[in-house]
Amino acid sequence: MSEITPDEQLQKMRDDWDQRARENARYYVATGTTEWTDEDFFASGEKNVAEQILNDMENICQEKSPGEMRVLEIGCGAGRVTRALAKVFGEVHGVDVSGEMVRHAALALQDRPNAFVYQNNGKDLTVVPAVEFDFAFSSIVFQHIPSREVIENYVREVQRLLRPGALFKFQVQGNIAVRSQPDDTWLGVPFSERQATEMAHRCGFDPRYRHGAGQQYFWLWFFKR
């Protein structure tokens, strides 16, 4: 097991993702191709939103109108999903540990005045305005984080910012055979159903639904108590 302090690990997440963003941001965000066109890249974000959000509006909106909702995205990358979210919801705020990714996202969102992106420290949401959010989302981000503590800290931070009853829908690595190393910022720590459920309870959430346990795309629906 490689030795690395929590601060070194955060630094490594930032450096590695900045490096990936410089090399080919869109490929590392969505590895389907190394040569994304603008059209296809953003269409893939729209597809994710259609598959994860538009078909789940009852849980997400809870009778609020989407245009009046403020949404938070953890790990916005190059703005692929953020852009699609900004077409649906009133206000979208995204954070990412990589300043290079955030630079790409800001360019992608130039014509979306209701979308805001911030570089954060890789573990909390102190850069985000301390206002109440109606929904939080994260996809293909925690599967890359090699620290259970960092992921749980994000869950706690999202709980701090959500209004009571609101949903945090997110994906983690569910294949517990994955061997994550503390200095590997590509293969994140896996969660079993039990680990996910216990984390929800510790962080003040009701873990109401889950889908894909045991698989890479393990989706969790945590409702703020």
Ligand X SMILES: C[S@@+](CC[C@H](N)C(=O)[O-])C[C@H]1O[C@@H](n2cnc3c(N)ncnc32)[C@H](O)[C@@H]1O
CA–CA gap between residue 194 and residue 197 (Å, rounded)? 5
In the complex, least distance from residue 150 CB atom to ligand X, rounded to whole angstroms:
6
In the complex, least distance from residue 82 CB atom to ligand X, rounded to whole angstroms:
8
Q: How many CB atoms lie within 10 A of CB 62?
A: 15
Q: Does 140 bind ligand X (CB under 6 A)?
A: yes
The answer to whether the CB of 175 falls within 8 A of the CB of 131 is no
CA–CA gap between residue 72 and residue 89 (Å, rounded)? 10
Q: In sequence order, which ranges of 96-147 are alpha helices (DSSP H)? A: 99-108
70-74 vs 205-211, strand pairing mode: unpaired
Q: Does 144 bind ligand X (CB under 6 A)?
A: yes
Q: Does 146 bind ligand X (CB under 6 A)?
A: no
Q: Is 18 helix (H, G, I), strand (E, B) or coil?
A: helix
Q: Does 180 bind ligand X (CB under 6 A)?
A: no
Task: State the binding string over 25-44 for ligand X (x if CB under 6 A, else -).
Answer: ----xx--------------
Among 106, 133, 139, 170, binds ligand X (CB under 6 A): 139
Q: How many CB atoms lie within 10 A of CB 16?
A: 18
Q: What residues numbered 57-76 form the site for ligand X, per CB under 6 A?
A: 75-76
Only one of the segments 57-65, 108-116, 137-145, 215-223 lies at the binding site for ligand X (rule: CB under 6 A); that segment is 137-145
Q: Does 122 bind ligand X (CB under 6 A)?
A: yes
Among 84, 141, 161, 203, binds ligand X (CB under 6 A): 141
In the complex, least distance from residue 158 CB atom to ligand X, rounded to whole angstroms:
12
Among 49, 101, 109, 199, binds ligand X (CB under 6 A): 101
The answer to whether the CB of 117 falls within 8 A of the CB of 82 is yes
| Termini Cα distance of the chain | 37
CA–CA gap between residue 166 and residue 158 (Å, rounded)? 10
Q: What residues numbered 77-96 form the site for ligand X, per CB under 6 A?
A: 77, 80-81, 96
Q: Which spans of this chain sit near ligand X (rule: CB under 6 A)?
A: 13, 17, 29-30, 75-77, 80-81, 96-98, 101, 122, 139-141, 144-145, 150
